[in-house]
Amino acid sequence: MGIKSLCLSLLACPALVLGGVSTETIKERMLRDLDFIRNTFEVKYAPAEWKRRYSGWDLETEIERAKDFVRYSDEVSIKSYQHAVREFILSTKDYHVGVHFWSTEWAALPFRVCGADGKYFITFIDRARLPARSFPFKVGDELVKFDGRPTNEVIQELKAREVGDASPLTDQALAEIYLTRRSGAAGLIVPRGPVTITVASGETNKLSSYQIIWDYSPERIKDTPIKSLTPDVVPASTALADHSFFKKKLHVPHLETLNKSYPNCACEDPNDIGARRSFIPDLGPKRWESDPSDPFHAYLFEAPDGRLIGYVRIPHYHGGALEVQAFARTIAYLEENSEALVLDQVNNPGGSVFYMYALASLLTQQPLYTPKHRTTLTQEDVAFALEYERVFECIRSDSDARLVLGDTMEGYPITYQTSQFMLNFFRFIMEEWNDGRTLTRPYYLYGVDCINPHPGVRYSKPILLLVNHLCFSGGDFLPAIFQDNRTLTIFGSKTAGAGGYVDGCSFQNIFGVAEINFTASLAERIDKNPIENLGVTPDIRYDLTEDDLKDDFHGYVEAVLEAVKEL
């Protein structure tokens, strides 16, 4: 949906009234805020040139399109302006580029669907809200109609209006999520009231219709100025590792915002992005299983050929030293007791660079070369590098390094060698700036060109890594690293293609824009191709089928077991 047609759909939104301030004055403020966003992207958006070559994207054109919406609308509400900003965000075809709004509005329905071949099947039901005695449809039944319309028609409309067209499989999957979950904080149009669904039984194919109602939280931050929003106070830390310079994330913040839009769910939805247990059913009879309190769902199962195979789920890359220790204990057990490992990374939103590196070190016996990044620079980056170059030049031992940086960086062990890689990174930043580059040549993030194997625990048997089109950022990078180093086999569908680290900024405004996120680096693989938009193509391609969604992923499990057998 373009901005002009979007305007028509939002006419019902109340116009912005600021104590008698004229519409023209309000529009001028909006235009100035759009200039701030333009300047931010001119300075910090690393993939701009890649986007021009890949999709013809042009910053000036897209900002002017948003400005035209403001200029030529008779009245502009906060909600309609927010959707204009979001249209600009979607134009980048970049999952890292996002916007978070000050909004309390969200709505959810207590079920989820997944599609195959143009049909949509129920994959999750919150039975606390849809008890079987009143709503006897089941997981695996087909959702034929939604609010009186063919489900695919509604999904495609959502895809065009709320998702964009960055990557077909990923965009389709996001639209399927948005069918039953919407969040004003993520900039989505939020419905309310009753909705009728028509379901075809998987057993009899009989059609039945049910009326249910959106679980709705109203907007309590109205179209009026906000006097104050006090941010959480973050305690100061003495460890340099906690400085924002070292917190560059490989994740998608607005997806995590959406996941929080249904806080009252009575049970975990295995289809959630970042869920501890994924939608993949047990792969065989279990001989051991991790405790439910463990951050990683893991088990040892017997394959059809009698071999014992390990399984570990990595739901995301947000964690620290305690989680790395838990992962190490699991890997040590599976190294001793299994003949191969299935590593489940589907629906992974990414997270911390160093945490991902720490987990990867437990899964290899050889150093793993990492992707290089072209990184945007400002005087702030150069000033930080200049200040801490002198500090890092004084480091002479592991203990010195830990005194400066702490024992670990989100689970990644700190050593003298780590500090010297970072020292080289500081010097690289200064050299690039002095040579007149605000977008650097490709270089290893923080100077870490290799992930060394963990000194004590390493998995040495064959590994099958499961991925899909809802693997973002860190969920793109881990399979890219292992594929480039040829150390395991990847199974599933192409990852999303969020190929850099994410940065963000906020600015004072009265239009509800809390934060803008953008990609501040462009990563390239060993073959010089970017991860951005291209993602990672698995060694063994598998797309979910209609039978998978109707029959508890039976075909998927068979294909995984066959792939394990061939490792």
pLDDT tens for each residue of 303-354? 999 999 999 999 999 999 999 999 999 999 999 999 999 999 999 999 999 9
The answer, yes or no, to whether residue 45 has pLDDT greater than 80, is yes
Whether the pLDDT of residue 29 is over 90: the answer is yes
Give the Cα separation of 233 and 454 in Å (integer): 35
Q: CA-CA distance, 228 to 240, in Å (whole number)?
A: 31
Distances (CA, A) of 103 to 97, 160, 481, 512: 19, 23, 38, 7
Domain ranges in the chain with CATH number 3.90.226.10: 243-368+454-565
Lowest mean pLDDT among 109-118, 133-142, 258-267: 258-267
**Measured distance CA(181)–CA(192) in Å, rounded:** 11
Average pLDDT over residues 150-167: 94
Residue corresponding to tokens 């200049």 = 386
Of 154, 172, 182, 7, nearest to 83 (Cα)?
7
Largest CA distance in the chain: 77
Amino acid at 380: E
> Domain 3-101 adopts which CATH fold?
Histone Acetyltransferase; Chain A (1.20.920)
Q: Can you give the pLDDT at residue 77?
A: 87
β partners of residue 519 = 502
What local confidence, expressed as pLDDT, does residue 135 receive? Answer: 97
Q: Do the Cβ atoms of 288 and 295 come closer than 8 Å? A: no
Listed residue (360, 350, 351, 353) closest to 535, CA to CA: 350
How many CB atoms within 10 Å of residue 2? Answer: 11
User: If you count them, how many residues does the chain have?
Assistant: 567
Q: Binning pLDDT at 50, 70 and 90, where does residue 258 land?
A: low
CA atoms within 13 A on the CB side of 521: 25
Residue 477, H or E segment: helix 474-485
Express as a percent the part of the chain with pLDDT over 90: 83
CA-to-CA distance for 540 and 464, rounded, in angstroms? 10
* 526: exposed, middle or buried (Cβ count in 10 Å: 0-12, 13-18, 19+): middle
Taking Cα atoms as reference points, which of 469, 457, 458, 521 lies closest to residue 497?
469
Under 8 Å CB-to-CB from 170, ≥6 apart: which residues?
A: 95, 469, 470, 496, 497
Q: How many CB atoms lie within 10 A of CB 306?
A: 7
Residue 481 has pLDDT above 50, yes or no: yes
For range 556-564, the mean pLDDT: 98
The count of other CB atoms within 10 Å of the CB of residue 191 is: 12
Contact 414, 406 (CB under 8 A): yes
**Predicted model pTM:** 0.91
- Give me the pLDDT at residue 249, please: 77
CA dihedral angle for residue 95, residue 101, residue 105, residue 109, rounded to 10 degrees: 10
Predicted confidence at residue 257, as pLDDT, reads 63
Structure tokens at 327: 């992962």
Token pair, residue 245, equals 């310079």
Structure token pair of residue 352: 């911390």
Q: Does domain 243-368+454-565 have CATH number 3.90.226.10?
A: yes
* Terminal-residue alpha carbon distance, the chain: 46
Q: Which of 556, 558, 549 is nearest to 123 (CA)?
A: 549
Q: Tell me: the pLDDT tens digits for 196-229?
A: 999 999 999 999 999 999 999 998 886 544 333 3
Q: What would the CATH number be for the domain defined by 377-438?
A: 1.20.920.70
Q: Specify the domain boundaries for CATH 2.30.42.10 within the chain.
A: 106-217
Could you give the CA distance from residue 240 to residue 388 in angstroms, rounded to a whole number? 10
Q: DSSP string of 495-518?
A: -----S-EEEE----SS-EEEEEE
> CATH 1.20.920.70 occupies which residues in the chain?
3-101, 377-438
The arithmetic mean of pLDDT across residues 123-152, rounded, is: 96
Using the predicted structure, report yes or no on whether residue 163 has a pLDDT greater than 60.
yes
pLDDT category of residue 2 using cuts at 50, 70 and 90? very low
Q: How far apart are CA 176 and CA 228, in angstroms?
A: 36
pLDDT at position 231, please? Answer: 35
- For 278-297, b where at least 16 C-beta lie within 10 A, e where not — what string? bbbeebbeeeeebeeeebbb
Strand (E) or helix (H) holding 41: helix 23-44
- Tokens standing for 322? 């305690």
Class of domain 106-217: mainly beta
Determine whether 210 is exposed, middle or buried from the number of CB atoms within 10 Å of its CB (0-12, 13-18, 19+).
middle
